[in-house]
Each structure stands twice: as C-alpha cells, then as structure tokens.
Structure 1
C-alpha cells in the first residue's frame, strides 16, 4: 500500500531516483477528491515493474508519504519537477515528509 496524504499550505501536494532500469513503467496520475488533501493508493508491484504516481503541487505545500507492504517490500523515491531525487526509500525508510521547494509535477516512483 502506498499511503499518500498531507497537510496543505495552498492546495494539493507530493515526487525519484533519476532513472530506474525497467522496461515496464506504469504511469498513474494522483487526483484528490474535492475538499480532500490526501488519498490512499493500493497497488501491486511485481518483479522489475515500476509504478510512477504523479501529481501537481505548489511550493510551500507539505508532502507526506508512507508505505506499508509485505516482505520483500519495494521502496519508493520522490522526484521533483526538475528531475531531482529528494527522497530515496532504500536509504531513508518508508516515510517521507517535507515542505516542497518548487511548484510543478512531482513523481513518486515505486
């Protein structure tokens, strides 16, 4: 399970390692229900598959991501609109929380 939620300073929220070697990247866009500032995503990753979850966020918003999974569990990374990794789950764990520095499309790569 990829749990995406957050505290908003303006509108919505959320982000990778520059590139992962995989032939199968599944792209998904995250939308929040009207009046909501978060969502829960349940998904499965198999083998070398990669799931990208993208969303628009504004500078100053808080992004909070937590992942719950069974062993062996995947990691997630957060990538900024200018393609910089600001979180690497394989080194930093299963929880990301940070105030975003720039506006644009963020990618959460699982």
Structure 2
C-alpha cells in the first residue's frame, strides 16, 4: 500500500512540475490611435511565457519593429497568423526588423525569452515599437 501511495505521489509531483514549465501565452491586439502609424508598448515576459502582439496589415506595407530590453536573451519573432514558421527570427537577426509585410492579414509579433533565462524564471522588461506605413 505504501508503494502505491509513493508511486501516486511521485506521479502527481511529476505532472505538477511539467505543467509549471508549459508556456502561458498572452495575446494582445495592437491598434494605432486615429491618424497614427506607430505604437509603443511596454511589457514584461517571464520564464517560458510569451506575448503575441497581433496587428493587421496589407501585403507590401512597410513594417518596422524595434525591441529594447533589459535582458540579452529577450527577442521577438514575426509570423503570419496561423503560421508558426517565422519570417523574422530575432535570436538570429537581432532586435530590429524593417521590411515589407509578405501577405495581407494579421501578423503576429511574438516576444519571448531564450531558454537559458526562461528555465530560470527570469523576468524581462521591454519596450516594443511597432509601425506600419504604405
């Protein structure tokens, strides 16, 4: 009986630990003020959590995204909504993007921490500047 209880306790502990490592994504729709073509967003990201900023754009519009952060392992990726393949990968290309939107529709700017800080539960404070012009 003790072995069964111990096995159950270990199994429950493993489940609790594994669920604490799962990312808790947050999604925010980005809207510009009337007449504006840019927006500055201040935020935080912790551990394996990430934030998806969703913005509508037309194909060919010029998208500019700049990330300023207090952590060297805080980056962003950009992808079309519904497509996990990013067309900009911050950890490889840096914290600034300027280029045309590949296709009309929602674009997702995902702010995250690299694994080295994520696994330690580090908190990154950041400022994200997003602009879109024709």
Scaled by the length of structure 2, the TM-score of the pair is 0.63
CA 1:74/1:104 → structure 2, altered by over 3 Å: closer, same or farther?
A: same
Residue aligning to 1:41: 41
Higher strand share: 2
Residue aligning to 1:101: 102
Structure 1 stretches lacking a partner, 5+ long: 1-20
Q: Is the 8 A contact 1:63 1:99 kept in 2?
A: yes
Structure 2 stretches lacking a partner, 5+ long: 1-20, 112-134
Higher helix share: 2
1:62 corresponds to 2:68: no
Distance 2:72 2:98 in 1: 23
Q: How many residues align?
A: 90
Residue 82 (structure 1) shift: 5.4
Runs of 4 or more, structure 1, over 3 Å off, are none
Distance 2:39 2:48 in 1: 25
Distance 2:73 2:22 in 1: 17
Cα deviation, 1:21-70, whole Å, max 9, x if unaligned, reads 94300000000000000100000001111100001100110000000001
SS at match of 2:87: strand
Task: Tell me which structure has the larger Cα radius of gyration.
Answer: 2
Scaled by the length of structure 1, the TM-score of the pair is 0.76
